[in-house]
Amino acid sequence: MNWLLPEYIADALPNEAAQIERLRRAVLDLFRLHGYELVMPPMLQNLDSLLTGSGSDLTLRTFKLVDQLSGRTLGLRADMTPQVARIDAHLLNRQGVTRLCYCDSVLHTLPASLGASREPIQLGAELYGYAGVEADLEAIRLLAASLKAAGTPASRIDISHVGVFHALALAAGLDEQTEAKILQLLQVKDIPGLVDCCAKLAEPYRAAFQRLPELYGGGDILDVAARELPALPEIASALATMRHLQAAMPDLPLSFDLADLRGYHYHNGIVFAAYYPGFPSAIAQGGRYDGVGKDFGRDRPATGFSMDLREVARLASGCAPAAAILAPYAAGDRVLTEYVAALRAQGEVVVEQLPGTSGSEGPLCDRRLVESAGQWITQAINKD
């Protein structure tokens, strides 16, 4: 059965492909209006550069192969963010702020979740060269605007800060294995497991780790965290950053979850994730990842977000196929040919009926061209 595709790989048929393309254009146009420049990194890259620095977390998700020209190991990208960071740091090499965006397929060795595609279409925006919270604010606002433009407005945007956990782990003197175990338990909010894992830790860190899964909700949870977590400078700074974001975006559905530590080994500041009603996981996510360009020669602050456009397209309200006009086969009729060209220039879909066909193939035709008194006119097709 050579027509079968690999598991978790699927074609995009006409209606889905049209929806994806419509949303791609809408969101990339939105990015352009905010000053983000489009880049198109290659699908294939030398593995060592593809997995350099922050990209090392992608090792198990990356398909690998040998280049028959050079003998080097290549990788099929699993995430475009490290590639875009390479472009900023090494190719553009600009001073000051750079805003870049992208949209293309990536490939995963395994699906990220049940039902997810192994070939997502990753769409995202990244801001380089500015370390202040204002850049995070811009990224979150742009994420919200992007989802709204796509027809999937966020019902909730969760915000966290990896500095809280990092400060606790450092102060508690956690070894690498214990830190990884506590991090895993926090991510799934396994409170009984967390209690057992933290049993030998000294106070106040044992209580703080056990309290983190319960520190989620509205802005008041930040005040609770300030009272109940150890008074460490990094924690105070993280809470202050989150308060700033809350105050600056009263119009967005923000919430806070201090145990949401996705990308802990990748991000080093604010992290955020947007949710859509009825969808079990985040529809878009991002955060700050300063220093991402260090291995490419420039240590640059960075923040941004991405989403799977295929996933968003499935959730967005479907767009009806464009109505089309059925035209007779021109057969050298210059007047008809020019009239069809004029209709297409106006944005009309015109399908030329090939000789011997019924005209029912392809796009839905609700009108036809007919000749009347020596002129071509558009006439509705009676479906009865």
User: Do residues 220 and 296 share a domain?
Assistant: no
3-state class (DSSP) for residue 302 = strand
Quickly count: other Cβ atoms within 10 Å of residue 1's Cβ. 3
The torsion region of residue 217 among left (phi > 0), alpha (psi -120 to 50) and beta comes to: left
The C-alpha angle 67, 71, 73, rounded to 5 degrees, equals 60
Q: pLDDT tens digits, residue range 186-227? A: 988 889 999 999 998 999 999 999 999 999 999 999 999 999
Please tell me the total count of domains within the chain: 3
Residue 280 counted as domain residue? no
Q: Do 117 and 231 lie in a common domain?
A: no
Q: Of 160, 258, 273, 181, which is closest to residue 214 (Cα–Cα)?
A: 258
Mean pLDDT, rounded, for 23-42? 97
Query: Is residue 95 located within the same domain as residue 145?
Result: yes
CA angle centred on 271, ends 183 and 61, rounded to 5°? 65
Listed ranges 223-237, 325-339, 355-369; the one with the highest mean pLDDT: 223-237
39 and 122: one domain?
A: yes
> Using an 8 Å Cβ cutoff, are 292 and 332 in contact?
no
Whether the Cβ atoms of residue 258 and residue 212 lie closer than 8 Å to each other: yes
Residue 261 contacts residue 165 (beta carbons within 8 Å): yes
Same domain, 183 and 220: yes
Given this model, what pLDDT does residue 73 score?
A: 94
Do 63 and 104 lie in a common domain? Answer: yes
Q: Give pLDDT tens digits for 79-115.
A: 999 899 999 988 888 889 999 999 999 999 998 877 7
Q: 361 and 213 in one domain?
A: no
Cα separation of 160 and 342, whole Å?
54
> 187: domain CATH number?
3.30.930.10
Which pLDDT score is estimated for 123? 98
**Pair (132, 238) in one structural domain:** no
Lowest-pLDDT choice from 40-49, 51-60, 184-193, 225-234: 51-60
Query: Strands (DSSP E) along 55-154, which ranges?
Result: 63-66, 73-76, 98-105, 121-128
- Looking at residue 139, what is its pLDDT? 98
Q: Where does the pLDDT of residue 131 fall: very low under 50, low under 70, confident under 90, or very high at 90 and above?
A: very high
Residue-number span of the structural domain to which 360 is assigned: 324-380
Are 315 and 332 in the same domain? no
- pTM, two decimal places: 0.90
The answer to the question of residue 348 being in a domain is yes
DSSP state of 322: P
pLDDT of residue 361: 62
Q: Is the peptide bond before 204 cis (omega within 30 degrees of 0)?
A: yes
294 and 254 assigned to the same domain:
no
Looking at the fold, whether 236 and 267 belong to one and the same domain comes out as yes
Of 242, 275, 308, the domain-final residue = 275
Mean pLDDT of the chain: 90
With respect to residue 236, please indicate whether it lies within any of the assigned structural domains.
Answer: yes
Look at residue 205 in the predicted model and tell me its pLDDT.
93
Instruction: Report yes or no on 282 lying in a domain.
Output: no
- 120 contacts: CB under 8 Å, gap ≥ 6: 105, 106, 108, 112, 308, 309, 310, 311
Q: What is the mean pLDDT of residues 285-306?
A: 87
Q: Which of 48-52, 129-133, 142-146, 161-165 is predicted least confidently?
A: 48-52
In a domain, 301, yes or no: yes
Task: Confirm whether 281 is domain-assigned.
Answer: no
Q: Do both 343 and 295 map to the same domain?
A: no
Least reliable range by pLDDT among 107-116, 240-249, 290-299, 343-352: 290-299
Burial class (CB in 10 A: 0-12, 13-18, 19+), 120: buried
- pLDDT, mean of residues 253-267: 87
Tell whether 74 is covered by a domain: yes
User: CA-to-CA distance for 70 and 68, rounded, in angstroms?
Assistant: 6
pLDDT confidence tier of residue 373, bands split at 50, 70 and 90: confident
The answer to the question of residue 2 being in a domain is: yes
Predicted pLDDT at 295: 74
* Continuous segment of H or E residues that includes residue 288: strand 284-288
